[in-house]
Amino acid sequence: MNRAALLALPLLPLLPLLAGCGDAGGLVAAGPTATASGPVHLWPSHRGASVPPAEPGGAPPEYVQGLARVTDQNVHGVDPVALVQAELAAHPNTDVGPDGMPPETVAAIKACGRAGQPREQCPVLAPYYRDLTGNGRDELVVGIEMPDRMMSVRAYTADPDGRLNRIMATTQTVVAVDLAGRDVVLRVPSGNPGYELITAWSWDEKQRTMLPAREQIVRLPGTAQSPAPSPPLKPSVEGAR
């Protein structure tokens, strides 16, 4: 055997390993890709409802009557009880709509602050403050408790002239109310057991008011029915002997 052949012999066992290195780092097929399909418009011949156009100048302001003007747009100095009482005086005998209240709630609000009236019996809750409009100044958020777990949630902003403008008012059977960023988030029963309806009210710059911008039905954790407990084990015949 010549010298060249002898030098080549040790390299023969390495050839399969070197041949396998060509696949390292290569792309591997993950199977066929599902075909994307867009939405399909159903019943195209059906004549749908029309949506009226939004007011070009935005929603008209709802100024609160009967209150002193706010200084420097600072709503922290506004008495929430006096505010709600002023709205009651401006909308008397109203039982439906954003100003609607049952008679017992109206009577309790009118009694707030009277001598001998406990503070905890006043339906007007402690206020919260948050910049909801993005103007760098806080808005005032007020809650009013009503029977049957209902609550009226209202928000107010002060304009440069010191007038207090109500930018949100809704009455719901409320599970909880949250402030998330610049949103007022209401959690209410959805009507489906085990699920909540979450509504985020957001400032609409064009309409100059708070609108229910997003809604989502969320399943509550731990609502799945637990399996029935297993019956206790009985000793076997063999074990009882």
What's the pLDDT band for 14 if we cut at 50, 70, 90? very low
In angstroms, the CA 215 to CA 198 distance is 6
Q: Would you give the DSSP letter of residue 5? A: H
**Beta strand 176-180 with 164-173: parallel, antiparallel or unpaired?**
unpaired
Would you give the end-to-end CA distance of the chain in angstroms?
85
Instruction: Give the fold, CATH level 3, of 71-172.
Output: Lipocalin (2.40.128)
Q: Quick check: helix, strand or coil at residue 11? A: helix
- Give me the pLDDT at residue 37, please: 78
In this prediction, residues 181-187 reach a mean pLDDT of: 97
pLDDT tens digits for 23-68? Answer: 555 666 667 777 777 889 999 999 999 988 887 878 889 999 999 9
In angstroms, the CA 73 to CA 158 distance is 5
pLDDT tens digits for 134-169? Answer: 999 999 999 999 999 999 999 999 999 999 999 999
- Give me the pLDDT at residue 34, please: 73
Strands of 160-236 (E only): list them: 164-173, 176-180, 183-189, 195-204, 209-219
Backbone angles phi, psi at 52, to 5 degrees: -65, 145
- Confidence (pTM): 0.74
**Residues 158/73, Cβ–Cβ less than 8 Å:** yes
Q: Lowest-pLDDT range, 97-106, 109-118, 158-167? A: 109-118
In this prediction, residues 70-88 reach a mean pLDDT of: 96
What's the pLDDT band for 232 if we cut at 50, 70, 90? low
In angstroms, the CA 157 to CA 169 distance is 12
Residue 140's CB is within 10 A of a number of other CB atoms, namely 24
| Opening angle at CA 92, ends 199 and 212, nearest 5 | 10
